[in-house]
């Protein structure tokens, strides 16, 4: 069961054309939904990259392409 969202109104300045493209691309019901989706995706991607770095640092993940110097 999903927990209810704790939403807070924010005033942000965005490029309208990019926001409209984002809404269409995500097939979002609203501009707010599109923004929340992108924020959630960015936070998830950062969690994944943090986990990958931790695995690499432990030596349990090996980079077949030898790109270990990238952050």
Q: What is the pLDDT along the chain (71 residues), one digit of tens a residue?
A: 677 879 999 999 999 999 999 999 999 999 999 999 999 999 999 999 999 888 888 887 777 787 766 55
Q: Please list, residue by residue across 9-36, b when 16 or more beta carbons sit within 10 angstroms of its beta carbon and e when fewer do.
A: eeeeeeeeeeeeebbeeeebeeeeebbe
The pLDDT assigned to 19 comes to: 97
The ranges assigned to domains in the chain are: 29-62
pTM: 0.73
The pLDDT assigned to 2 comes to: 74
The pLDDT assigned to 71 comes to: 54
The pLDDT assigned to 14 comes to: 96
Residue 61 to residues 12, 24, 43, 48, 68, Cα–Cα distance (Å): 40, 37, 22, 13, 10
């Amino acid at each position: 069961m999903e927990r209810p969202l704790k939403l807070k109104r924010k005033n942000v300045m965005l490029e309208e054309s990019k926001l409209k493209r984002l809404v269409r691309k995500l097939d979002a019901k609203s501009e707010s939904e599109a923004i929340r989706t992108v924020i959630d995706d960015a936070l998830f991607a950062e969690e994944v990259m943090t986990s990958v770095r931790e695995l690499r640092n432990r030596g349990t993940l090996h980079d077949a392409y030898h790109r270990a110097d990238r952050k």
